Amino acid sequence: MRRTQAGIAQFKRDRLSERVKSGLAAARAQGKKLDRQPGQRPKSIKLAPKVVQVADGRSDRWTARDLGIGKNTVLEIMKRQRQNSL
């Protein structure tokens, strides 16, 4: 009985995978963009002045920990700050 249930479950997974793949292919054929769309990051824009002030000479990890935000957020803010200052 367990073999039958496993076989049915596998069949359902395969069908679901086929439907998803065909749906994605149809969307691509219509010219839709399926990737994550680039956009603004309101949180990092709002926190940018504080991050730049606190980060002066400190590591990104310590800055992130002190402000309660992610290290990658600090890295992105500092990267944009360097690009804007050029």
Q: Summarize pLDDT for 5-55 with one digit per residue, the tens.
A: 999 999 999 999 999 999 999 999 999 988 877 776 777 778 888 888 888
Is 55:69 a contact under the CB 8 Å cutoff?
no
Q: Do 73 and 57 reside in the same domain of the chain?
A: yes
pTM exceeds 0.85: no
Q: What range does the domain containing 24 cover? A: 1-36
- Residues near 80 by Cβ (< 8 Å), separated by ≥ 6? 48
Q: Can you give the pLDDT at residue 43?
A: 75
Q: Do 66 and 46 reside in the same domain of the chain?
A: yes
Q: Do 11 and 28 reside in the same domain of the chain?
A: yes
Q: Do 14 and 30 reside in the same domain of the chain?
A: yes
Residue that the structure tokens 């504080």 belong to: 50
